[in-house]
Amino acid sequence: MKNLNGLPKIFFFFLSIVFFLKVSSVISYTGGQSNETVHYTVDQGLSSNIVNSICQDENGFIWFGTNEGLNRFDGYNIEVIKNPAPDSVRIKSDFLRQVIFYSKDKLFLAAQNGVYEFDSRKYSFGKIFLTHSRKFSVNRQTKRIYRMLKLRNGKLLISTSSSLFEYDHAKERAKDLLKENKYKVLREKTIKNLA
């Protein structure tokens, strides 16, 4: 067998077969479908063209937190969540920084003026208080909500312009981690991002 640039022809033959099999598997994996990107805007029903956060719940619904409120996408239609249930809390600002799927029918929303819980079954909002007293709402104590992170133990970390909170949904209690920081590990008062 004659070498081609120092390598046997049989090597190039096998390399060609492997390349052909890889290309065919990619084509069969996509099922011949085109990989088109579909853009959704206010023309298709979004409340705003500025989407700050996206999450998916266990039912497959896609939730968007926009500059103009909460939106739900079922794969076909976009629904703007505007009219909460009669017993629901009203969100004072439609600007949603983040939407997190928590469990079952619960979403947590980081709005400009506080943290809210949304029950997607009842279509109702509830306010999350980061202080022990329900008299003071989140916006007076913490100024601005930046990010939330769901921990493995089910608690939420909530970063604000004045502190970092750990929220226990089961107990409906929040702990100010900077205030209770015994070891002085956390020194910054403003934590803008959680990973």
Please give the domain boundaries of the chain with CATH numbers for all domains.
42-176 (2.130.10.10)
Is-contact 181 163, C-beta < 8 A?
no
What's the pLDDT at 49? Answer: 94
41, 121, 126, 187 from 140: Cα distances, Å: 34, 30, 17, 22
Q: Could you tell me the two tokens for 100?
A: 């997190």
pLDDT grade for 135, boundaries at 50, 70 and 90: very low
Is-contact 189 176, C-beta < 8 A?
no
Q: Could you tell me the two tokens for 74?
A: 């079922």
pTM: 0.71
The CA distance from 175 to 191, in Å, is 15
pLDDT grade for 195, boundaries at 50, 70 and 90: low
pLDDT grade for 179, boundaries at 50, 70 and 90: confident
Is-contact 169 154, C-beta < 8 A?
yes
Stated length of the chain: 195
How many distinct helices (H) and strands (E) make up the chain?
A: 2, 14
Where is pLDDT greater, at 142 or 98?
A: 98
What's the pLDDT at 134? Answer: 46
> Phi/psi at 74 (nearest 5 deg)?
-100, 10
Contacts 24+ apart (CB under 8 A), 138-145: 138/113, 138/114, 139/92, 139/113, 139/114, 142/114, 144/112, 145/97, 145/110, 145/111, 145/112, 145/113, 145/114, 145/115
Whole-number average pLDDT of the chain:
78
The CA distance from 14 to 79, in Å, is 53
pLDDT grade for 3, boundaries at 50, 70 and 90: low
